[in-house]
Amino acid sequence: MTFTDLGLNPPREIIADDLLAVSLLDITWRPEVVRILLISHKRELSDLLAGIPHDVDLWEASPDAMANCDLMWKALTMIEGIGTASASKLLARKRPRLCPISDSVVRDAVDVPGRTWDVLRCLMEDPVARAYVEALRPPEAAAASLLRILDVALWVLYSKGAAAQQVREEARLPAAG
């Protein structure tokens, strides 16, 4: 929940609170990237964010909304020092209902290289699948987006990291994968 709730999160601009929140998900920002995001490309990125709805779920998004997400994705990943995981985590912070995280754990879980968002969108279009994901929501995550709940579930099930292993052991779940 700290990723979601930390500091301010204005919908039309990237601010230092966003970069700090994303750093909680194992992303390190190089100083030149911070300057680009917060200073030199601030206006361009804000204009792109303005074209992406902040109150729409991935499974209900229009083709225009998804096209605008693609434009923002391209703008971010063209910045030297921002990879796909960093870009997806920043977009997930700015549009938590629309933009899923796509890091190595999620990509391995989905197992369709280059199509992660499409696969997750297709999954979440199914009301039964959404109900299963919703059933995983702990009471303290009432404000989290359904995509965030899905991301955490995928992380718990597929991450090979020690923290995920500990969660699996406490929940008596099988090893990663």
Q: How confident is the model at residue 9 (pLDDT cuts 50, 70, 90)?
A: very high
pLDDT, position 5 = 92
Task: Report percent pLDDT > 90 for the chain.
Answer: 81
pLDDT, position 13 = 97
Mean pLDDT of 105-129: 91
Q: Would the pTM of this model clear 0.85, i.e. be above it?
A: yes
Neighbours of 57 (CB within 10 A): 17
Mean pLDDT of 58-87: 97
Is the alpha carbon torsion for 133, 134, 135, 141 positive or negative?
Answer: positive
Residue 177 clears pLDDT 70, i.e. is over it: no
pLDDT, position 1 = 83
With 0-12 / 13-18 / 19 or more C-beta atoms within 10 angstroms meaning exposed / middle / buried, residue 38 is middle
Mean pLDDT of 24-51: 97
pLDDT, position 176 = 74
pLDDT, position 113 = 77
Residue 65 clears pLDDT 90, i.e. is over it: yes
Q: Choose among 123, 135, 140, 128: nearest CA to 57.
A: 123
